[in-house]
């Protein structure tokens, strides 16, 4: 089902947490306290946080956690398909707990990333040229532009 509602509610966060625990168990991945708290941060933020942001927030609850632990867990969760890596900046990977079909609008000024759904893109399949290169496992559209906040700031300065 292609849902237009991309808002993050307390219930949707709890649903993500439940799905996460069940997915880990199905895959034989241990659900450690650290892994759970790292995922909780990604799942509860609409901003598609980078590892440094996740680290700073988790460290408030687990003061002994290391930045390397956060990086390793996020990359491992991405490899398992439990979070996705968003954006193309190699120096600052961003993570998204929403693994359902959706797309991203990336602001070229402030770097914000916002989720959106589009009925018209729901049935788009990988093109034959991509299939000729290998077996596609996912497809995602990234629209780059100037977000409303940055556009409003520009208009105010004029």
| pLDDT tens track for 13-65 | 999 999 999 999 999 999 999 999 999 999 999 889 999 999 999 999 999 99
| pLDDT tens track for 69-89 | 999 999 999 988 899 888 666
Separation of alpha carbons 83 and 42, rounded Å: 8
Would the pLDDT of 3 be above 50? Answer: no
Compute, in degrees rounded to 10, the torsion defined by CA atoms 48, 145, 143, 75: -30
Would the pLDDT of 123 be above 80? Answer: no
Would the pLDDT of 149 be above 50? Answer: yes
Would the pLDDT of 144 be above 90? Answer: no
Cβ atoms 55, 67 nearer than 8 A:
yes
Separation of alpha carbons 85 and 72, rounded Å: 13
149 vs 153, residue with greater confidence: 149
| pLDDT tens track for 92-116 | 788 888 878 888 888 888 888 888 8
List beta partners, residue 103.
Answer: 116
Buried b or exposed e, range 31-56, using 16+ CB within 10 angstroms: eeebbebbbbbbbbbeebbbbebbbe
DSSP 64: T
List beta partners, residue 50.
Answer: 94
Least confident of 15-19, 78-82, 117-121, 151-155: 151-155
Sequence spans of domains, the chain: 10-96, 103-157
Domain 10-96 has CATH 1.10.10.10: yes
Would you say the pTM of this structure is higher than 0.85? no
Would the pLDDT of 158 be above 60? Answer: no
Q: Which fold has domain 103-157?
A: Dna Ligase; domain 1 (3.30.1490)
**Would you state the pLDDT for residue 15?**
93
Query: What is the crossing angle of helices 33-43 and 10-27, to 10°?
Result: 140
């Amino acid at each position: 089902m292609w849902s237009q509602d991309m808002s993050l509610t307390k219930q949707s966060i709890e649903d993500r947490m439940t799905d996460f625990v069940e997915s880990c168990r199905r895959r034989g991945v241990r659900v450690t306290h650290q892994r759970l708290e790292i995922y909780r941060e990604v799942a509860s933020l609409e901003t598609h946080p980078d590892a440094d942001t996740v680290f700073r927030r988790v460290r408030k609850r687990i003061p002994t956690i290391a930045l390397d632990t956060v990086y390793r867990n996020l990359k491992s969760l991405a490899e398992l398909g439990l979070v996705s890596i968003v954006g193309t900046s190699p120096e600052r990977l961003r993570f998204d707990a929403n693994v359902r079909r959706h797309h991203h609008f990336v602001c070229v000024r402030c770097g914000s990333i916002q989720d959106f759904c589009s009925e018209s893109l729901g049935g788009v399949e990988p093109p034959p040229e991509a299939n000729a290169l290998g077996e596609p496992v996912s497809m995602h559209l990234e629209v780059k532009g100037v977000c409303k906040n940055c556009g409003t700031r520009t208009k105010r300065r004029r």
